[in-house]
Chains A and B, each alone.
Chain A
Amino acid sequence: MSNNKSNTSGGFMDKLNNLTDTNLLLTITIVVFFLMYIAAMIFQGGAFLKGQSFLNILNSNSTLIILACGLSLVMITGGIDISVGGVTALISMCCAVYLDLKGGNIFVSILVALAIGLAFGAVQGFLVAYLDIQPFIITLAGMFFARGMTTIVHSEPFNVAHEAFNELKNTRIIVPGLGSVNRRGDYIDAYVEIGVIVAIIVVILMFCMFRWTKLGRSFYAVGGNQQSALMLGINVKRTRFLSHLICGLLAGIGGYVYFLHVGSGSPSHATAMEMDAIASSIIGGTMLTGGVGNIIGTFFGVLSLGTIQAIVASAGLGEAWWTGITRAAMLCLFLVIQSLIMARKKKA
């Protein structure tokens, strides 16, 4: 029976060709991450063997995970959003001003963060989806608007002195089983910050949304071929709008998580974070052309970037430029791999 064709054909290359684009790229990402981490454990030893150092990668990248999820969403739908870094900075500043200078409460500050994120998502989504303007240009403007507004709200960096907030900021969640014993023989618990929990919830929710809802699948459909998606009866405009709206919401959540991590407001916060988010998405196997990508991959993409940073730091390459250069090199590598694989598949 013809249905069994794919099962009977053997060989590694055949199996590779039978993987969907999404799964193929996901596999590469995960393999690369583990190879890299294992190599770090072997060659750098020490620090990488501790559970906490892995958790620290999560701690310092929880915002990036959330933002990258949003980016993956718009990129899978065939768009892009480069305003998320700026929005993160704006949210930090607004919340900082609200909590510190105005003495507001935490719950309202969370609402402020979400409202700002949603507002950006809604306006950008409307312009992109309903007026059919290139997303790159719109969100570039959005990024500059957010950056400028941050300065207008408050031009100097400052730390938040708000008791309840700082308590929340310093909350540590103990992760059982990953702790280590220090030199004096005391057992030290491994911990994560609240942001990591939020990030993991976001990853799980996004994954479920993509996998098991009709909306999730229509993001893929629109990214794969807009014209076709329209003909198949999908409301393309609404889908594109929603992708930006959800990305905006995630920027709101991510922005607050960032604020919770740094506990201050500054116009120079989250600089170039949108680029890191895009890079993580790409490294995680999201195709720039849309329609291909996976949230789990994005998660590993962020971890890969974080690991690189950790390796650079522990290898004693103290100069600041090494991080920039190695990240760029990794992005370049993955872009080229993607391009080569797709060219190969097209031929086959």
Chain B
Amino acid sequence: MEKNVKKSDDSIVMRIVRNQMFIPLLALAVLFIFNLIADPSFFKIMATTNNAGNSVLTGNPITILDMGSELAILAIGMTLVTSASGGQDISVGAAVAIAGSVILRVLRGGSTVPVIFAFLLGCVVAALFGAFNGVLVAYFKIQPMIATLILYTAGRSIAAWINNNELPVIIDPKFTYYGGTIPGVPIPTPFFIAVICIIIIGLVLKFTNLRLYTQAVGVNENSSRLNGLNPAFIKVLSFVILGLCVAVVGLIKVSRLSTINYSVVAKDIEMDAILAVALGGNALSGGKFNMASSILGAYVIQFLTTTLYAFKVEAAALPAYKAVVVIVLVVISAPTVRDWFSSLSKKLKVKEVA
């Protein structure tokens, strides 16, 4: 009887451990506890007044929500691309620069064009570049990482070329709403934008077959084709969706500064976006995915970044610490290491029984 109870208990623990959300939640808990012990004031939220005279909330948790939202939006698209193509898009940072540059090009010089129009044009351009990546991957069968290397190399140059290497500044204070705060709302707008994006993708996943089709193509392309799917089209679609996510982030990025810095904007963001997908427990080799887990992963990554900043780590040195986290993460989740752990725990159990 007792044995049975123990067995079911075991299986519940195992079920939690096996759940995809386990890794990001564990990482979140570790970071949370770490900060709590090291410096509880990390979690302090203050109400202050910003330059524009609006009362806003500040503090590390708010920063995480604010900056993590950009990542979360990119993680949505990156998850789909990873699932369908079995690879990652390393050009998102460069593509954000292009999208931002396009938006600035439309709005610069006190143009009266509404922001929404500039944003839509940014969407179209980013989606086209996404489609370009997608076509290379899907129709020319080039590995995603390498196909997107092209745009990675050329993207920032293209972004500079769009504005003739000038740095247009948008004076309209309303333009800062998207990356900053809206008067009367104390929480940064990017968070709301991310929530809207998450709701949209949630609805799309619920009311269309995007999930089934993407996963099927990612797991077995031949089989999907023989079931009437068009794998190439679905891959391109995933890249186009990522392009749209990129455009949204582009808007947030240029809105934060009211201008752009071609070589620095969204630098290394592709690393964080890929990391978010991996931390979410999604196989980087494609196939099944868990969107919620990726999005949670994105915020956890930002949590880590903010923690490092709180410990006075220089911005340029940040990657070194993140790299260590990545390596620990992938080593722990490597099948070889997992097998080793499970055989070790088995051996320990055998000893206990004896």
Contact = CB atoms under 8 A, between A and B. Distances in A.
Contacts of A332: 136, 150
A127 B333 CA distance: 12
A127 B160 contact: no
Contact of A335 (B140, B322, B335): B140
B327 interface: yes
A288 B151 CA distance: 17
A328 B151 CA distance: 7
Given A144-B268, A279-B149, A267 B316 contact: yes
Contact of B154 (A142, A319, A327): A327
Nearest to B145: A136
Contact of B320 (A149, A321, A343): A149
A275 B153 contact: yes
Among B156, B324, B326, find the residue whose CB has the most chain A CB atoms closer than 10 A.
B326
A335 B157 contact: no
Given A278-B149, A335-B136, A148 B143 contact: no
Given A145-B320, A145-B323, A145-B324, A134 B153 contact: no
Interface string A334-347: 01100110010000
Interface residues of B, number: 45
A147 B157 contact: no
Contacts of A343: 141
B161 A325 contact: yes
Given A80-B145, A151-B314, A320-B160, A331 B150 contact: yes
Nearest to A278: B149
Contacts of B284: 134, 136-137
B146 A335 contact: yes
Nearest to B143: A288
A132 B336 contact: yes
Chain A residues touching B, majority SS:
helix
B199 interface: no
B165 interface: yes
Contacts of B327: 127, 138, 141, 145
Given A133-B330, A325-B158, A339-B140, A144 B323 contact: yes
Nearest to A329: B154
A207 to B, nearest CB: 24
Contacts of B141: 339, 343
Contacts of B150: 328, 331-332, 335
Contact of A288 (B146, B165, B285, B318): B146
Nearest to A86: B319
B305 to A, nearest CB: 12
Contacts of B321: 148
Nearest to B136: A335
A323 interface: yes
Contacts of B278: 137
Contacts of B318: 148
B300 interface: no
Interface of B: 88, 136, 140-143, 145-147, 149-154, 156-158, 160-161, 165, 268, 271, 274, 278, 284-285, 314, 316-324, 326-327, 330-331, 334-337
Given A278-B149, A288-B146, 9 more contacts: A151-B314, A155-B316, A275-B152, A288-B143, A324-B153, A324-B158, A335-B140, A339-B140, A343-B141
18 contacts: A130-B336, A131-B331, A134-B330, A136-B88, A137-B326, A141-B322, A144-B268, A145-B319, A145-B320, A148-B317, A148-B318, A275-B149, A321-B158, A324-B153, A331-B150, A339-B141, A340-B140, A343-B141
